[in-house]
Structure 1
Amino acid sequence: MNRSRHLPVAAVSLAAAAALLLSGCGGGDDKDSGKDKIAGADEGGKKSASPGGKKSDAPVVDRPEMKFPASVQLVFDKANVSDPDQTAAANDAENFVKSIRYGIVKQDTEDAAYKFYSEYQSPAFKYAKDQIKQRVDKGFTISGEMHFTDIKVEPVKSEKSAVVTFCSDSSKLYSKEVKTKKVHHTEASISDFDSWQVLMTASDSNKGLWRAKQVEVATEAKECR
């Protein structure tokens, strides 16, 4: 495994579900599950406070800290949305993606960050854990830069849900052996470009927080190249 990218995960392809949600026909499935207390989210460890400065009407969410080494850069283009809820959904979809990479960097399949940004035992929760586990089991972490572009937010029938879509480019992100520190540099190819759909739901118990419920990653996405 030389290239650091999405590894295949069974039973997380949710194209049909996402299509239904985007067409407004799946509103009944996006209700809050009631399991907002995420296992591990309240565990010990440092947490990062929201940025200080001007007072805002936006609620303050006590979020787990994700501090990446200088060798890992995750770059997100700004989502072109103005609605506060859509902005929050886009921001926490970004945090969900970051939390997966953070778990890989930490080499921890039980890291609190991905549990905080996904609904407990949802397909998104299981996807994140599996992505981390596959790399940990193989003794790999990551090094380099991953770029996320064309970020869009599509509200679904329920006001508490939205589908966040974006492209990712991992052509400059590489696998790194944990033991030897060797970085496996590879040539860029179409396999480095993925298209994402992430169903985000607003938390009932933690105002201002949105969590990933379902995720679909289409690999070799020509439209993202």
Structure 2
Amino acid sequence: MKHRTMSVATALAAAALLLTSCSSDSDPEDKIKGAEQEVSSDSPSPTASPSASAKVADFGLPDDIKVEIESNTTGNKAKDQILKEQAEAIMARQRLYVDLDPNSRYLTRYYAGEARDFYVADIKKSKSEGRTITGTYRYYDRKVEQNTDDRAIVTYCEDRSKAFAKDIESGKIQKTEPSPEDFIRNTATLRKTEHNTWLVQSFRGKTSAKECR
């Protein structure tokens, strides 16, 4: 079975999540290692118009994990900052499943509230089951649907047709055949901290999304 961000049931339950306050905002001086480095992929999404790849921090992912994120920049400074930090949150998500550390700095820097709670629980589950991730993750058609001074909603497509779970001890990859369920339409709610950084507060995903194929 493919490793997904959340089950369909969990995704539906998360649809109505509300923003809440969080006391553990990260200080911008507490930087993630490699955050000054920029990396990009030259592979555009075949399901959307070609777009430059997002320039994000180097999160030190192993060679068997590839992450392709379309830039989808707008020319609007505020929206582009939201998209940049949302792209970094995507990269941080991959690193979480490599480290399997529920106290990870990547988690506290990029996630809060219900989203953070979900990943803490899922990371613990993955660790207990002895599984991690491998393969290629693609993210495209990213749009800032709503934004105010301290709140934003970003929608984006996700392709996991070449992403799989991997047994940590044996290294065996749990490959599955590509299916419509590999294409997911995500909606993420972000909030701005007092340090002018953006955290993913909640998210939901719709599998078998026709608009993402």
Q: Which residue of 2 aligns with 1:55?
A: none
Choose which of 175, 178, 188 in structure 1 pairs with 2:168.
Answer: 178
Q: 1:219 to 1:65 in 2, by over 3 A?
A: same
Cα offset, 1:83, TM superposition: 1.4
Q: TM-score, normalised by structure 2?
A: 0.79
Q: Which residue of 2 aligns with 1:50?
A: 36
Q: Say yes or no: does 1:84 pair with 2:77.
A: yes
> Counterparts of 1:143-158 in structure 2 under 5 Å?
143-156=134-147, 158=148
- Deviations along 1:75-99, one digit per CA (max 9) or x if unpaired, are 1011231112211111211222222
Choose which of 90, 97, 108 in structure 1 pairs with 2:101.
Answer: 108
Cα offset, 1:107, TM superposition: 2.1
- Deviations along 1:171-198, one digit per CA (max 9) or x if unpaired, are 0011110000111221100121111111
Amino acid at match of 1:15: A
Q: 1:195 to 1:215 in 2, by over 3 A?
A: same
- Deviations along 1:10-33, one digit per CA (max 9) or x if unpaired, are 48734345xxxxxxxxxxx65x83
Q: Which residue of 2 aligns with 1:190?
A: 180
Choose which of 68, 71, 80 in structure 1 pairs with 2:64.
Answer: 71
Q: Which residue of 2 aligns with 1:136?
A: 127
Choose which of 136, 161, 169 in structure 1 pairs with 2:159.
Answer: 169
The CA distance in 1 between the partners of 2:5 and 2:13, in whole Å, is: 13
Cα offset, 1:141, TM superposition: 0.7
Q: Which residue of 2 aligns with 1:5?
A: 4
Kept in 2, the 8 Å contact 1:100–1:129? The answer is no
- Relative contact order: is structure 1 or structure 2 higher (C-alpha 8 Å, sep ≥ 6)? 1
Q: 1:51 to 1:179 in 2, by over 3 A?
A: closer
May I ask how many residue pairs the two structures share in their alignment?
A: 194
Q: Which residue of 1 aligns with 2:207?
A: 219
Choose which of 118, 123, 137 in structure 1 pairs with 2:111.
Answer: 118
Structure with higher Rg: it is 1
The CA distance in 1 between the partners of 2:37 and 2:100, in whole Å, is: 27
Kept in 1, the 8 Å contact 2:100–2:123? The answer is yes
Identity of aligned residues (%): 23
CA RMSD of aligned residues (A): 2.8
The CA distance in 2 between the partners of 1:16 and 1:199, in whole Å, is: 11
Q: Which residue of 2 aligns with 1:25?
A: none
Cα offset, 1:150, TM superposition: 0.6
Cα offset, 1:145, TM superposition: 0.3
- Deviations along 1:59-116, one digit per CA (max 9) or x if unpaired, are xxxx997210111011101123111221111121122222222111112222110211
Q: 1:160 to 1:94 in 2, by over 3 A?
A: same
Cα offset, 1:212, TM superposition: 1.0
